[in-house]
Amino acid sequence: MATQGLKDTISKVANVKEPEVVNTLHDLLPHEKWLSTVENDLKLVKPKVDAQLDEQGNILENLRNTSKGTVQNAKQNIHTYLDDLVAKSKDFGLDKDAVTQGIHTVRDEVTSKLTDDEMSLKDLNDLKRKVDSQISTWKRQAPVTDTVKKAEQETLRGVRARIQDLENKAEPAAETVNAKIHNLIQTSEALEKKFPTLDTAEKAAASYASGIRKNVTDVAKGIGKRALVYGSGLGLGYLGLEGVKHIIGE
């Protein structure tokens, strides 16, 4: 299958639209040709994504511990971002007061942990990790309907991106690592959604092997049916017509 055709298939099967995620899935996909299918091959990608996440996480951890870079006015930077959100809140099509309340809830929580003095990559990353923990908690909960809570969640996601921008400013080498981690997390989440029960490498490998067996059996059945119709000269080897009948009867 041509590269773009395979990527289109991956996008459809995995239900992902982001080009970076599709490219990552394509690069990590085992290509077993006729023995498997794209959907079955995708089962083996999650452990590879997890391994790359660990690798990039170690690189970021090393940067946290060795970087000498700093930024100033981080607190004011976040205040300015939140001020802009408040000014635009009337355009969101929601209760302006409720949206503003949600924004200020995040402001109080986040800016209390920031300073306008020098902040290092580690300082900023520590805060981003706390934000990530809160966002992860929300993902495991039912979607909120309260406008204040909605505004709070969306605001915190936006603040997280601004904190990461500050990280990258403090340590330019972190930008590439953060981008890779972001893409791998998106890829991992797409695979978890696609295969929610395959939460270990062992389960993924077992399900993959089962898919291979089914595909081989299906192909053999197809050959067998043609053999019964057209005769035994189809390269069946030791399988023979009796073996073909057995496969078809499974």
Domain residue ranges of the chain, discontinuous segments joined by +: 3-51+198-248, 68-170
Contact criterion met (CB below 8 Å) for 47 and 30:
no
What does the alpha-carbon distance between residue 195 and residue 189 come to, in Å, rounded to a whole number?
10
CA 197 to chain centre: 16
Report the DSSP beta bridge partners of residue 70: 120
Q: How many CB atoms lie within 10 A of CB 43?
A: 23
Amino acid in the structure at residue 28: L
Q: pTM value?
A: 0.77
Task: Please give the average per-residue pLDDT across 55-71, as a whole number.
Answer: 95
Q: How many CB atoms lie within 10 A of CB 173?
A: 16
Q: 68-170 architecture in CATH?
A: Up-down Bundle (1.20)
Q: Is the pLDDT of residue 23 over 70?
A: yes
Contact criterion met (CB below 8 Å) for 48 and 204:
no
Predicted confidence at residue 199, as pLDDT, reads 86
All residues at 6 or more sequence positions from 195 whose CB lies less than 8 Å from its CB, including other chains: 42, 43, 46, 204, 207
Tell me which DSSP letter residue 144 carries: P
Predicted confidence at residue 33, as pLDDT, reads 57
Question: 146-179, pLDDT tens digit by residue?
Answer: 999 999 999 999 999 999 999 999 999 999 999 9
Task: Please give the average per-residue pLDDT across 190-196, as a whole number.
Answer: 93
Q: Reduced to 3 DSSP states, what percent helix, strand and coil does the chain have, rounded to the nearest 5?
A: 75, 0, 20
For the chain, what is the mean pLDDT? 85
Contact criterion met (CB below 8 Å) for 247 and 224:
yes
Higher pLDDT, 145 or 227: 145
Predicted confidence at residue 93, as pLDDT, reads 66
Predicted confidence at residue 244, as pLDDT, reads 44
**195's tokens:** 């295969």
Give me the residue label for tokens 């000014």: 87
% pLDDT > 90, the chain:
56
